């Protein structure tokens, strides 16, 4: 799967899509592939405020449990509650229906530290 | 599972494979000041000598008729419990490391968990914890994780030994505890209501409480829930054969000491901590969890499930560092409960309660002895004596009785109070002899 060009990426394999003032956050195709079948997500409460790099959510798969870190600072506007019943959506559609939460404050300078799709693709290739 | 010792040659081969020169080298990371140079042990003795020595020690045991409880009770253990628990296949304190290869062990744990759920009226139970006190500590930590709060209200009717364990385990954590004194031997509703704040993670209660008082805690649980706080109830499992279970009172976490379910008193352990909760909290619950499922061929099978909570996967973020359990004790508990069955367990509870009522009436007839009657009791009750209860207990040992628990040990000002426990094992004759002995030592 191609890493979409319009997203920004972290070394911990999260992605961010800026939509106006809002930043949508998810995990990358590489991350879902490494985790295997995803079984559970512990989603953040609405209104939770995080700094860049803070723990945002917890993801469990049949193989592992990992933290998802906030790619940028902000306040949680909404979490993708449909994942509670269908966490496997992250496996099938990591950049679309498998989004994890939306953060406010998308104009944040935190975005500048993140990788482009090309940079992330090279980075993820290097981990294999 | 068998234990097979390694030979020196096998050790040497393993060291060579990992390119380490000695076993000591594996411990090189431990700072010198913390490492133990040698253990100050006497030289080894022959089996014969050891046997003689232990036999001599065992002769100093006093054989006392037990009226002592305080959370640990002298119940009868059917021989079948020993016979089944002694089978080699079950002889491990651990959940297996290659779990799915040990279907029998997993099934026993699963059935134990199911039994605990039925007893407590809860939805999910773990594979067991070390003892009732550890279970209560784990429940407090679980409530803190669930609520994101850090205050705990502790009813002083909760077993003082468990309370001490809670304080000990949490002494390096930032948790505020507040103890709520009982009123007339029961949970003080007004004090609980006043002490609850929006920072309170849990109210910890016990039923019957340490003084033996039976209570319906539903209203206390409701008050806790109104403030977004969890209710933790520590329960005596045998009492649940008769009493309203904590699950029906709305409790969020139920814990307790499972020793009464087929496990000998054994001078303090090994015992069995049980823990049950609501399904919605299962991922915040510590401990191992056996689950029932189907394999690819549609056959029933057992697994260890939700392991992502545990330390071998979550590492330092695990919900608890306890991934072992008290499997053998849990096995004894499920064998015991299966032998008694629903009806037998109810009869056991009823027998304990009736004998305790008989004992209360018999002891109330002694001059200077007052049976505290502010609340109904199950199998344990409080006596007020004319003098220091600890002295009375010491004198009763000479008469052949473990007379009870002197409450002054943990409750200042209650030096004259004695907690007396009755189980199905105590006969009318024993209760009569106890009463006569008590009368003679006062």
Do the domains spanning B65-74+341-441 and B79-335 agree at the CATH topology level? no
Alpha-carbon torsion (B219, B224, B228, B229), positive or negative = negative
Site from B285, B291, B308, B320 to mutate, A interface, most A CB atoms within 10 angstroms: B308
Cβ count within 10 A of residue B12: 12
* Interchain contact, B308 vs A40, CB within 8 Å: yes
Contacting residues for B339 by C-beta, under 8 A, at least 6 apart = B78, B80, B81
* Interchain contact, B317 vs A67, CB within 8 Å: yes
Q: Could you read off the pLDDT of B183-230 as tens digits, one per residue?
A: 999 999 999 999 999 999 999 999 999 999 999 999 999 999 999 999
Contacting residues for B318 by C-beta, under 8 A, at least 6 apart = B286, B309, B310, B311
Q: Break chain B into its structural domains and give their ranges.
A: 65-74+341-441, 79-335
Q: What number of residues does chain B have?
A: 442
Please tell me which residue of chain B has the smallest CA distance to A59. Answer: B308
What pLDDT does B35 receive? Answer: 84
Please tell me which residue of chain A has the smallest CA distance to B308. Answer: A65
Q: Does A64 touch chain B (CB under 8 A)?
A: yes
Q: Break chain A into its structural domains and give their ranges.
A: 8-123
**H-helix or E-strand containing A59?**
strand A55-61
Do A78 and A103 contact (CB within 8 A), yes or no? no
Q: Which of B337, B282, B331, B336 is closest to B109 using CA atoms? A: B331
DSSP conformation letters of B394-410: HHHHHTTEE--EEGGGT
Min Cα–Cα distance to chain B from A63, Å: 8
- Dist. CA B64–CA B403, nearest whole Å: 9
* Interchain contact, A65 vs B314, CB within 8 Å: yes
- Dist. CA B239–CA B217, nearest whole Å: 15
* Interchain contact, B313 vs A65, CB within 8 Å: yes
pLDDT beyond 70 at B1: no
Q: Under CATH, which architecture does the B65-74+341-441 domain have?
A: Alpha-Beta Complex (3.90)
Token representation of residue A49: 């405020």
* Interchain contact, B308 vs A65, CB within 8 Å: yes
* Interchain contact, B283 vs A40, CB within 8 Å: yes
Q: How many CB pairs under 8 A join A and B?
A: 14
Q: What angle do CA B388, B393, B397 make, to 5 degrees?
A: 150
Q: Which pTM does this prediction carry? A: 0.87
Residue B256: pLDDT band (50, 70, 90) is very high
Alpha-carbon torsion (B389, B393, B395, B396), positive or negative = positive
At A112, phi and psi to the nearest 5? Answer: -65, -25
Cβ count within 10 A of residue A69: 18
Min Cα–Cα distance to chain A from B313, Å: 6
Query: Which region holds residue B148: left if phi is over 0, alpha if psi is between -120 and 50, else beta?
Result: left
Residue B4: pLDDT band (50, 70, 90) is confident
Residue B89: pLDDT band (50, 70, 90) is confident
* Interchain contact, A64 vs B308, CB within 8 Å: yes
pLDDT beyond 80 at B6: yes
CA atoms within 13 A on the CB side of B157: 27
Query: Which region holds residue B306: left if phi is over 0, alpha if psi is between -120 and 50, else beta?
Result: left
Q: Does A66 touch chain B (CB under 8 A)?
A: no
What pLDDT does B93 receive? Answer: 59
Q: Could you read off the pLDDT of B285-344 as tens digits, one per residue?
A: 999 999 999 999 999 999 988 887 777 777 777 877 666 678 899 999 999 999 999 999
What pLDDT does A128 receive? Answer: 77
Which residues of chain B have a CB within 8 Å of the CB of A61? 308
Instruction: Please tell us whether the domain made up of B79-335 is placed in CATH 3.40.640.10.
Output: yes
Min Cα–Cα distance to chain B from A89, Å: 19
Contacting residues for B269 by C-beta, under 8 A, at least 6 apart = B131
Q: Does A107 touch chain B (CB under 8 A)?
A: no
Q: Which of B240, B233, B314 is closest to B277 using CA atoms? A: B233
pLDDT beyond 80 at B23: yes
Fold of A8-123: OB fold (Dihydrolipoamide Acetyltransferase, E2P) (2.40.50)
Cβ count within 10 A of residue B96: 16
- Dist. CA A100–CA A24, nearest whole Å: 8
Contacting residues for A86 by C-beta, under 8 A, at least 6 apart = none
Q: Which residue has the tokens 């001059």?
A: B367
ipTM of this predicted structure: 0.71
Do the strands A8-9 and B230-235 form a parallel or antiparallel pair, or are they unpaired? Answer: unpaired
What pLDDT does B261 receive? Answer: 98
Q: Does A86 touch chain B (CB under 8 A)?
A: no
Across the range A9-13, mean pLDDT stands at 96
Please tell me which residue of chain A has the smallest CA distance to B146. Answer: A42
Residue A71: pLDDT band (50, 70, 90) is very high
Contacting residues for A122 by C-beta, under 8 A, at least 6 apart = none
Q: What angle do CA A112, A114, A116 make, to 5 degrees?
A: 105
């Amino acid at each position: 799967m191609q890493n979409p060009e319009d997203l920004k990426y972290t070394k911990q394999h999260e992605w961010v899509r800026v939509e106006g003032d809002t930043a949508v956050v998810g995990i990358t195709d590489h991350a879902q592939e490494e985790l295997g079948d995803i079984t559970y997500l512990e989603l953040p409460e609405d209104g939770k405020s995080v700094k860049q790099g803070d723990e945002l959510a917890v993801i469990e798969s049949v193989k592992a449990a990992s933290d998802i870190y906030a790619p940028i600072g902000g306040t949680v506007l909404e979490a993708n509650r449909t994942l509670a019943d269908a966490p496997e959506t992250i496996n099938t559609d990591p950049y679309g229906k498998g989004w994890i939460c939306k953060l406010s404050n998308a104009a944040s300078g935190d975005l500048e530290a993140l990788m482009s799709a090309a940079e992330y693709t090279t980075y993820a290739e290097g981990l294999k | 599972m068998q234990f097979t010792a390694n030979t020196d040659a096998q050790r040497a081969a393993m060291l060579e494979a990992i390119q380490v020169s000695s076993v000591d080298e594996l411990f090189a990371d431990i700072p010198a000041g913390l490492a133990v140079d040698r253990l100050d042990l006497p030289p080894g003795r022959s089996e014969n000598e050891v046997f003689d020595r232990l036999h001599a020690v065992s002769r100093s045991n006093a054989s006392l008729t037990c009226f002592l409880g305080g959370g640990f009770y002298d119940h009868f253990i059917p021989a079948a419990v020993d016979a089944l628990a002694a089978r080699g296949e079950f002889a491990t304190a651990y959940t297996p490391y290659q779990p799915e290869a040990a279907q029998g062990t997993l099934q026993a744990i699963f059935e134990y968990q199911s039994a605990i759920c039925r007893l407590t009226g809860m939805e999910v139970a773990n594979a067991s914890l070390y003892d009732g006190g550890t279970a209560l500590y784990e429940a407090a930590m679980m409530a803190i994780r669930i609520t994101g709060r850090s205050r705990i209200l502790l009813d002083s009717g909760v077993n003082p030994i468990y309370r001490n364990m809670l304080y000990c385990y949490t002494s390096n954590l930032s948790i505020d505890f507040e103890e709520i004194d009982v009123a007339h031997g029961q949970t003080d509703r007004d004090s609980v209501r006043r002490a609850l704040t929006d920072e309170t993670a849990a109210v910890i209660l016990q039923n019957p409480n340490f003084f033996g008082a039976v209570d319906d805690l539903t209203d206390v649980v409701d008050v806790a829930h109104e403030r977004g706080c969890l209710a933790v109830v520590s329960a005596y499992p045998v009492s649940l054969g008769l009493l309203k279970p904590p699950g029906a009172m709305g409790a969020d976490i139920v814990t307790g000491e499972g020793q009464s379910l087929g496990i000998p008193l054994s001078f303090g352990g090994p015992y069995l901590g049980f823990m049950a909760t609501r399904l919605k909290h299962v991922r915040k619950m510590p401990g191992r969890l056996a689950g029932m499922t189907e394999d690819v061929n549609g056959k029933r099978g057992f697994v260890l499930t939700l392991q992502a909570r545990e330390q071998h996967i979550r590492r330092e973020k695990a919900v608890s560092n306890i991934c072992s359990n008290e499997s053998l004790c849990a096995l004894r508990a499920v064998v015991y409960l299966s032998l008694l069955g629903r009806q037998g367990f109810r009869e056991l509870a009823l027998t304990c309660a009736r004998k305790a009522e008989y004992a209360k009436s018999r002891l109330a007839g002694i001059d200077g002895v007052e049976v505290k009657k502010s609340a109904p009791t199950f199998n344990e009750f409080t006596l007020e004596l004319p003098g220091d209860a600890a002295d009375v207990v010491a004198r009763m040992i000479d008469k052949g009785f473990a007379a009870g628990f002197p409450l002054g040990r943990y409750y200042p000002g209650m030096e004259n109070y004695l907690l007396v426990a009755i189980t199905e094992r105590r006969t009318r004759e024993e209760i009569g002899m106890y009463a006569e002995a008590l009368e003679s030592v006062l």
